[in-house]
Structure 1
Amino acid sequence: MQLTAEKFGLIKRPRFHDLRHSHAAWLIAAKVPLPAIQARLGHESITTTVDRYGHLLDALDDEVMAAAEWAMDPTAPLPGFLLHSGLADATKGLPAVPHQRTGQGQDLWRDGNDMAQPGTVFGVEPVFVVTLGGRELPFADRDHAQQVADQWNDDRAEEMDAMHADRWPKNKVTRHGAVGPGERERWDGGGGVRTRVPDRQFVHYAMAAYESDGNSSYEPLPLAGRWTWEFEGDSVTKAVAEPRTEYRPNGTTEAHARGLDKGAVMTAFDKARATALQVCSRNPYLRPLDSTV
């Protein structure tokens, strides 16, 4: 394995056990339900799965999603960190893998990145950058950057304490939290520089999954929630409550609900579960793939 790593320009010397962690990271990046990952890894309790890998749920950036897509479809564009690995030549000529099929039961969240992002400017010098769960965020004002970093760490204090207790490497615990702010001459990343403290709201959410015969794939997860910021992509919502159903490639149909009002989210969750039960037998992934696709 080490020879293979060196061949593709990987600096670290991986262990076979590292493949287990990588496998879990791919599953999380592909949004596989945590109970399914728990079963895959053989954890006795889902708490173990969340303690060890829950921080990855907050670190899904464009690079991770590109890597997950490439892992499932080698004909997809390579993620940035593999552009010079030579793998592009190895996948030439392979047939494309059909992507998510649409149809009844597909009702995706609106991505928070598509929402208006007020309070950003360009060309500010210097800037103050905080790293939040692996994501860099630039601010024009150092105090604003410091407020966000402090609040981010407060929101995740229990999770980080659990990671310390579980003897996670210090650098991984640090990555889960906030680092900075650090001053830079200018901002060279994507998007503008923030001129205010971003909005933050507590979002409740729930999820269940059903097989094609209507039986539960696992015990529905209890209603949960966490503080989310306006820059956190599809974790963000301004809705009181919204239901969603989604077909999964493994043949299951998922029911989701999220929103700002706990009671309304429970009502939306009941609606999503009812819809999922109505359409689960029509999951298009249960049909053989058309060879012409």
Structure 2
Amino acid sequence: MERWRSERPGQIAEVEEWDRRKWERESPGGLSTVRDRLPDRRVVHYAHAVFLPGGVRESAVRPDQWSVDVWEFETDLYTDQVVRWNTVRWLGGEINVRASGTDEGAVAAAFAAACAQAVDQAKDPGKYGDCDER
């Protein structure tokens, strides 16, 4: 608990003791969700950029890449992924690029590939099916 408080000031963690019957009846995964060890902490690496129509990169207020320590129970399975990335075209033609994962080198490589795809997508949206049909 002390470690949680030091890393997450202002966020409350509650501990509730359940007996075996309560785990069997009320736990989403049944008794199998009971941990037999402390959760792991992992470092997750992130990268983000936005490209304007035409392929010019928007100036960012935050850094392009950063890392965060997370507890494995805080996640939605992303701490188990070496890397994942995507590009999304927003209304107005901006391309949002995101990459994340547990391998810093893989995230950096995926981010570079995603940025290259975003520039191409911003310059030639029809190639990616992003053209408005009238």
Could you say which TM-score interval applies, normalised by the shorter chain? 0.5 to 0.7
In structure 2, how many angstroms separate the alpha carbons of the residues matched to 1:218 and 1:234? 31
Determine the structure 2 residue equivalent to 1:277.
119
Output the TM-score relative to the length of structure 1: 0.35
Compute the displacement of 1:277 (Å).
0.9
The structure-2 alpha-carbon separation of the partners of 1:208 and 1:247, relative to structure 1 and needing over 3 Å to count, comes to same
Determine if the alignment matches structure 1 residue 236 to structure 2 residue 79: yes
Distance 2:92 2:29 in 1: 36
How far residue 207 of structure 1 moved from its aligned partner, in angstroms, is: 0.2
Cα distance per residue 1:166-208 (max 9 Å; x no partner)? xxxxxxx3xxx24221224524252343223233210111100
How many pairs are equivalent?
122
Q: Structure 1 267/258 Cα, relative in aligned 2: closer, same or farther at 3 Å?
A: same
Indicate how the Cα distance of structure 1 residues 224 and 200 shifts in structure 2: closer, same or farther if over 3 A, else same. same
Alignment counterpart, residue 28 of structure 2, candidates 181, 186, 190: 190
Bigger share in helix: 1
Letter of the 1:236 partner, please give it: T
Query: Equivalences for 1:181-260 in 2 at 5 Å?
Result: 181-184=15-18, 186-187=22-23, 188-192=26-30, 193-196=33-36, 197-219=38-60, 221-222=62-63, 223-231=65-73, 232-233=75-76, 235-239=78-82, 241-260=83-102
Give the secondary structure class of the aligned counterpart of 1:245.
Answer: strand
Equivalent position SS for 1:213:
coil
Spell out the pairing of 1:1-293 with structure 2 (5 A cutoff): 149-156=1-8, 160=9, 173=10, 177-184=11-18, 186-187=22-23, 188-192=26-30, 193-196=33-36, 197-219=38-60, 221-222=62-63, 223-231=65-73, 232-233=75-76, 235-239=78-82, 241-280=83-122, 281-282=124-125, 287-288=132-133
TM-score, length-normalised on structure 2? 0.68
Could you list the structure 1 runs, at least 4 aligned residues long, displaced by more than 6 angstroms after superposition.
none
**Comparing both structures, which one devotes a greater share of its residues to strand?**
2
- Distance in 2, matches of 1:233 and 1:208, equals 22
- When the two chains are superposed, the root-mean-square deviation of aligned CA atoms in Å is 2.9
How many angstroms does 1:247 deviate by? 2.6
Greater RCO (Cα-Cα under 8 Å, separation 6 or more): 2
- Per-residue deviation, 1:287: 1.5
Q: Determine the C-alpha separation between the residues in 2 that align with 1:287 and 1:190.
A: 44
Q: CA deviation at 1:284?
A: 5.2
Secondary structure at the aligned position of 2:55 is classed as coil
- Percent of pairs with identical residues: 26
* Inter-partner Cα distance in structure 2 for 1:152 and 1:272: 34
